[in-house]
Chain A
């Protein structure tokens, strides 16, 4: 054993020495630049650049930048990307050069297959537990009500589970919904749900790429325990004006992008709005007409009842290229949901000459705003910098106003408003340093100034012109600072081994207390034979903010709160290992096992509810620990007529809290033993594609009583007062008590569903039109939304299941111009 250890140390020292000598004395040249789509000017993320002679290469970063340092010799420069024609040319390789490459998309199948072999395969990447889904693939999959949804596609990946029927919340490797860092152009999005969680806020028309990291986190990521979902918006076509317009079952979309100054400045604007409120208008009018003169309302002379719901969102981005070294981007997202009810009525009373009017207005509003101002600069051939200033806001507001008038004079008024939210202002700078093909160093730092508004209620009441109540109650605002710094290096050791060691340091300053954490990260990849590799990783993470949520649906009432004296930061350690393999150049297979521990996770106290408003939030939760382990199989085909994936997850997730379930371990609500997802699209012809998804999941764990018995009774015995002041005793015969075997010991029925969709595209003179038809839940499976004890049709006590979505047809019409 000692011999081997000594041998390894000696080999490493010799290797390092040789490398040092190599760098010190050999002549090097650096080639750098951007790789973009020739048609749109969009930067290509993860494109491969290499020298076909030495086979030394690199990939573009998330901004499409690459830098490759090679021995000064003739170079066969090759740039390629999946679905694009490669570019190959010869360079004399005697001096540093900037080469910006435009790749043309290829529809020729043979060419695509050739290109694939030249791209970086899954087994060549150091990073594990990471999945990139091409937007083109997501767009071909069937969707609920025809709304293409990035988060719904993410839920189809192994290791990721959905919260409930139709919802866009997701749970990664046993973590809670608050443990996912959702980034839109690098800015955190705090509530990614529209329509009470049934749709996500991400408009597919404006999105360029989607990457999910479930484990083996590189040091540049931090702040959440379970996953990072990195969504990048399109930059806007820099060559020509293009756009699209679509009409669907519940919403319409419009996208416009193009150059402001050709090849210098481009923009993209994309908007979406639902029209559920417009569809409901005729029904509401019919209701108002029916109510007129109804028994009990004979004196009502006019009544205007209105109710509705809508959401809209807007993505916009402008980018400007100052020169080859400096580019500036400004991107923004604005989205709002609003549900409202108004009821205004004029009436008179018998034998009363006065005219009366009552106005009631209530509304529920929530929305996000995110903004990023980004500056990409090439400091030198090997050093790339990205400086970003961010603003993120999530606001939730409930309003209720009631006012009564007599002869147009206010007689009484009542107003209630509830406001909660989170506001972030941040800045960060990230550097990519590529000294040679064997090192890819990333480092950076950032700071975010949070403002938490954990819920303020304002009540105003007037009696005529006199103010009776005018008060605000609730938790006061909290202003923490969160900061971090990181350093990582993707190192190639010989031809077979890659490692990515790193460290992430973070701190959180709140209420005059500083929390800090040093988080080591390590990923390693050993390519033990051609097209095969063994990967392993270790990642420690710390999270300083918690989400108070009821957990099942993405309600807008979900509340972000910072750590406190009683609620410490969450921490996790995740170990993962697995095999990856590419075969026939089309299929990628990965098998991974993981074990994750989570410290200081929160759960509601037994009996506590999200809707308790009379307690401070940190009094309603318990702090405990969790752990999750399992295995994931992922088979993906990225090219050809048939594309898509098959995923299977076998997992166990548990929680243990001193004050829950009598201190006993219990399964997490989303502990799911088996989870299967199949998502494929098939191009029948050049203009017709079919999409199909099938999901299966073990039922969610819930608490159900299995028996009942008589309780003790009241603490006070009102009948035992014969002793005067010395009355004694407790009474028997109290409430019936429900008996639960254990917390979350019962399983809902399993969930499974088949969706299908088809796209029919046709080229017209000035545009391309696409009809999309689909069916959600094709075989009309009654999947459980919730299960509760109730009464059946015969009036007997029974276990009743409520389902949400039956088979739902959908259609959409889209025009690309």
Chain B
């Protein structure tokens, strides 16, 4: 009897977790091409290798010896891109609104990849203004971005806010020591449940099938505490020795709203990347496959044109 109980106990302890042989891993290394064209800016491409899922993901190998050709399909011109560093390639071509491009990356040991994109024509910001609102007992500063969509064409948009942040450092007597300006993405919320969008903290994406009216108003609600700024003091050390105390006063001086008219590939790629990142931290979330418009490979060949406007913050 004792022996039977012992055997049963061993069987129970032996259960729980075991390693499975994973036969489905992708051992074929493929080219990953990441490139987003911006109207009026030179073209920059990043090239790297994909890996089997069982390999450590921390380091991806850059591809430094590929041949990348960028073609302006309307003009019929093409250019070989130049490798600069760590798999980053540049071209002197400067794309413009409405132009269509094709990119091809070739390598001796890897399958060639290619993709096409057309640079969207920038939409204008019709109005940008701020207002204070109260939502469920909380006060927010709304930055409202208004623009017009052409319902007859497929359009995708991204809205983001960047704060110009001024930090004034002074000594304990109130003498200004120096002033520093930074640009940082501003987190906001979309409290308007009627606006269908994909929203990720500092970026709002609008897909063509979610746009139901030609007149669009995006209310970006910012936590009022963030806008109001803050102050404090720091101890400065030089060679581990206390040098002096500085006071700082941080405040937002300007909010820059950027309305990007983005290509479908850009939209699908960034929305799916964000969804995969968010899903990775959730229990029982359904898996997200990231969109790619690169044939035979991975990555994105996207494009955008942007319009900007800003509002001054005086508090």
Contacts and interface: CB of A to CB of B under 8 A. Distances in A.
Nearest to A749: B20
A739 B24 contact: no
A746 B193 CA distance: 37
A800 B54 CA distance: 12
Interface stretch (B30-38, B214-222, B242-250): B30-38
Contact of A797 (B54, B203, B308): B54
A231 B82 CA distance: 74
Interface string A594-624: 0000000001111111111000100000000
B55 interface: yes
A729 interface: yes
A612 B60 CA distance: 32
A26 interface: no
A466 to B, nearest CB: 16
B16 A609 contact: no
A716 B22 CA distance: 37
A705 interface: yes
B66 interface: no
Contacts of A605: 275, 286
B300 A607 contact: no
B3 interface: no
B20 to A, nearest CB: 4
Interface string B138-176: 000000000000000000001010101000000000000
Given A729-B38, A730-B36, A738-B53, A780 B14 contact: yes
A289 interface: no
B224 interface: no
Interface stretch (B124-132, B227-235, B277-285): B277-285
A712 B53 contact: no
A607 B279 contact: yes
Contacts of B36: 712, 730
Given A712-B269, A737-B276, A801 B290 contact: no
Nearest to B282: A609
23 contacts: A550-B284, A606-B289, A607-B276, A607-B282, A609-B285, A706-B24, A709-B32, A710-B48, A712-B299, A712-B300, A727-B162, A730-B36, A732-B34, A732-B46, A738-B276, A739-B50, A742-B289, A743-B287, A782-B15, A787-B20, A797-B53, A803-B16, A806-B14
B283 A803 contact: no
A766 interface: no
A721 B285 contact: no
A807 B18 contact: no
B11 A780 contact: yes
Contacts of A807: 8, 11-12
A802 B34 contact: no
Contact of A800 (B17, B25, B48, B158): B17
Interface of B is mostly: mixed
A737 B57 CA distance: 9
Interface string B44-71: 1010111111111110100000000000
B60 A709 contact: yes
B274 to A, nearest CB: 8
B41 A739 contact: no
Contact of A611 (B16, B137, B164, B284): B284
Contacts of A805: 15
Contacts of A15: none
Interface in A788-817: 789, 792, 796-803, 805-807, 809
A708 interface: yes
Contacts of B287: 606, 703-705, 738, 740, 743
A707 interface: yes
Contacts of A324: none
Interface residues of A, number: 69
B20 A606 contact: no
B293 to A, nearest CB: 11
Nearest to B280: A738
A488 to B, nearest CB: 40
A606 B19 contact: no
B289 A740 contact: yes
A803 B15 contact: yes
A704 to B, nearest CB: 7
B282 to A, nearest CB: 4
A564 to B, nearest CB: 13
Contacts of A740: 287, 289
Contacts of B285: 604, 607-609
B270 interface: yes
B188 interface: no
A782 B13 CA distance: 11
A718 interface: yes
A608 B288 CA distance: 9
A641 interface: no
Contact of B289 (A550, A604, A739): A739
A552 B284 contact: yes
Interface of A: 471, 473, 550, 552, 603-612, 616, 661-662, 703-713, 715-716, 718, 721, 725, 727-730, 732-743, 745-746, 749, 780, 782, 787, 789, 792, 796-803, 805-807, 809
Given A606-B272, A611-B284, A739-B298, A806 B17 contact: no
Contact of A705 (B8, B53, B273, B299): B53
User: Interface majority SS on A: helix, strand, loop or mixed?
Assistant: loop
Nearest to A604: B286
A734 to B, nearest CB: 7
B29 to A, nearest CB: 9
Contacts of B12: 806-807
Nearest to B57: A736
Contact of B278 (A552, A607, A715, A796): A607
Contacts of A662: 289, 291
B99 to A, nearest CB: 18
Given A616-B193, A742-B289, A710 B279 contact: no
List 4 tightest A-B contacts by C-beta distance, closest first.
A806-B15, A607-B275, A703-B287, A707-B26
B112 interface: no
Given A705-B53, A809-B8, A712 B34 contact: yes
Contacts of A611: 282-284
B273 A734 contact: yes
Given A707-B50, A715-B202, 4 more contacts: A709-B50, A712-B299, A715-B158, A740-B287
A809 B9 CA distance: 11
B279 A798 contact: no
A257 to B, nearest CB: 38
Contact of A709 (B160, B185, B298): B298
Given A607-B275, A797-B56, A721 B282 contact: no
Given A611-B283, A612-B282, A732-B34, A708 B14 contact: no
Centre residue among B278, B285, B286 by max chain A CB count within 10 A: B286
A174 to B, nearest CB: 18
A563 B164 CA distance: 46
B34 A706 contact: no
Contacts of B193: 616
A156 B308 CA distance: 64
Interface string B235-279: 000000000000000000010100000000000011011011111
A797 B52 CA distance: 11
Contacts of B8: 807, 809
Contact of B273 (A727, A737, A745, A792): A737
Contact of B19 (A704, A730, A739, A792): A792
Contacts of A792: 19
Contacts of A715: 158, 160, 185, 202-203, 270
B100 to A, nearest CB: 20
B64 to A, nearest CB: 14
A211 to B, nearest CB: 33
A428 to B, nearest CB: 37
Interface string B183-201: 1110000000100000000
Contacts of A725: 164, 183, 254, 256, 308, 310
B283 A607 contact: no
A657 B246 CA distance: 58
